[in-house]
Structure 1
Amino acid sequence: MSATMEGPLLQVRGVKTYYGKIIALKGVDVDVKRGEIVTLIGANGAGKSTLMMTICGSPQAREGSITFEGRDITRMPTHEIARLRIAQSPEGRRIFPRMTVLENLQMGAALDKLAYFDQDVERVFTLFPRLKERIGQRGGTLSGGEQQMLAIARALMTRPKLLMLDEPSLGLAPLIVKQIFEAIDELNRTEGLTVFLVEQNAYHALRLAHRGYVMVNGLITMSGTGRELLEKPEIRAAYLEGGRH
């Protein structure tokens, strides 16, 4: 994957994030180049979700910088960051439970005032045929796997330049996890979509990713290609023993 001349699509440098007086991120450096799948793995509570939320502006970084397409977004409010085509599918799915599948997708498309709605709906239904079957069903009545598909589909309706996925496999059956990872791979291969993936399922995530980072206690401790990290004994011992699905 060749980077564009202006450097990474997303660049995080020296980012420190606090919750009150507690430091959650202790000076994080991460790059995501255009057209890459980059994964961030680490134990629960390592700070992975905090990094993703900090990139989206809530909470804001207290130190360091975050740039997107060469533009400093460190102090931007969340809604302005979303307008730059950074879409997040947050941990815990957070769809609108009382709205139907179709209405949830319309909420995603609202950024463009539904201008591309019909073609984008067809695109996500091709990717997740199960959602088409559930089009009139309320989000809250879907299975966990269907809700995760809807959360990703809603993010895709914003036509993102960067899709950020926080724990998309959490709590899902292995077959559903496989379908979701295959969909991410297809989006990247066929459309060149740039994906930043936060995952506890290290085996699936590193197999999928071009590059990966390991986070421990708010610090990046290791980085490399997905394959390099998969082969490291310390990664296997910490994240992969008994963890394959």
Structure 2
Amino acid sequence: MSVAGINVLVEETRALQAPLLDVRGVSAYYGSIQALKGVDLHVNEGEIVALIGANGAGKSTLMMTIFGQPQARTGSITYAGRDITRMATHEIARLNIAQSPEGRRIFSRMSVRENLQMGAALHGGRYFAEDLERMCVLFPRLKERLDQRGGTMSGGEQQMLAIARALMSRPKLLMLDEPSLGLAPLIVKQIFSAVRELNEREGLTVFIVEQNAYHALKLAHRGYVMVTGAVTMSGTGRELLDNPQVKAAYLEGGQH
């Protein structure tokens, strides 16, 4: 069978599986302002799925809505076959979903080690030593700064810490909100390389929200495009990279 035929078979097999994360007809509001307009998307187990769009398109709102803040006004959100649409954020966090939010939001006064301990708290710290070693291998920069306050590190190092803290909870689904925001191209490549390694080596499922369409779609198995609160396009990462509309809107001058 040709490589193309194998890829089609893989996509068909994935399509037959129930999605790990399934968002159907979701609308959300901030007061009277509608931020999401009937969003449909899904993430299969073992996939990396990217959601791209301009600033203000509603990408981060969708990620926050999946985590219950704000809650969806219409539609449904299902995770691992369980309806989480009306669940509280702290309850969702216990379901093997971890989020690295936009703006990193690390504990700036705590050391790197203490930040990672906070991430491990979901399991009572049982796997802390083991997972600390994993994070130090994945992000060697953090190993050099375990006793340094998080707030004194560079933006790229703080982003690595935010992702590592999320991973310390041993999630089945990792949700990344704008991980490349404000970072130098070299750091962006290091972070995306780490995400790819986690997916390929450990089978981690990843849903990534990004303005940096080029890097996100290169990384992703599949992608969605969001415009003013609605999903307007979807396809494989390669299909969207090659799409003339996507190129014109999001890729011109953006290939770093």
Q: Distance between the aligned counterparts of 1:86 and 1:26, measured in 2? A: 24
Q: 2:98 aligns with which of 49, 74, 87?
A: 87
How do 1:8-27 and structure 2 match up within 5 A? Answer: 8-27=19-38
Q: 1:30 aligns with which of 41, 44, 53?
A: 41
**Match of residue 3 from structure 2:** none
User: What residue identity is the alignment partner of 1:239?
Assistant: Y
How do 1:217-232 and structure 2 match up within 5 A? Answer: 217-232=228-243
**Match of residue 86 from structure 2:** 75
Q: 1:150-205: per-residue Cα shift (whole Å, max 9, x none)?
A: 00000000100100000000000000000000000000000000000000000000
Length-normalised TM-score, structure 2: 0.94
Q: 2:149 aligns with which of 109, 132, 138?
A: 138
CA contact (8 A) 1:6 1:70 kept: no
Question: 5+ unaligned residues in a row in structure 1: which ranges?
Answer: none
Q: 1:38-69: per-residue Cα shift (whole Å, max 9, x none)?
A: 00000000000000000001110011000000
* 2:39 is aligned with 1:47: no
CA shift, 1:6, in A, is 5.4
User: What residue identity is the alignment partner of 2:148?
Assistant: Q
Structure 1 segments of 4+ aligned residues over 4 angstroms from their partners? none
**Match of residue 244 from structure 2:** 233
Q: 2:199 aligns with which of 172, 180, 188?
A: 188
**Match of residue 149 from structure 1:** 160
Partner of 1:3, secondary structure, is: helix
Q: Distance between the aligned counterparts of 1:3 and 1:10, measured in 2? A: 13
**Match of residue 69 from structure 2:** 58
**Match of residue 128 from structure 1:** 139
CA contact (8 A) 2:17 2:44 kept: no
CA shift, 1:3, in A, is 3.2
RMSD, aligned α-carbons:
0.9
Q: Distance between the aligned counterparts of 1:92 and 1:182, measured in 2? A: 20
Q: Distance between the aligned counterparts of 1:77 and 1:214, measured in 2? A: 27
**Match of residue 164 from structure 1:** 175
Q: Distance between the aligned counterparts of 2:113 and 2:246, measured in 1? A: 41
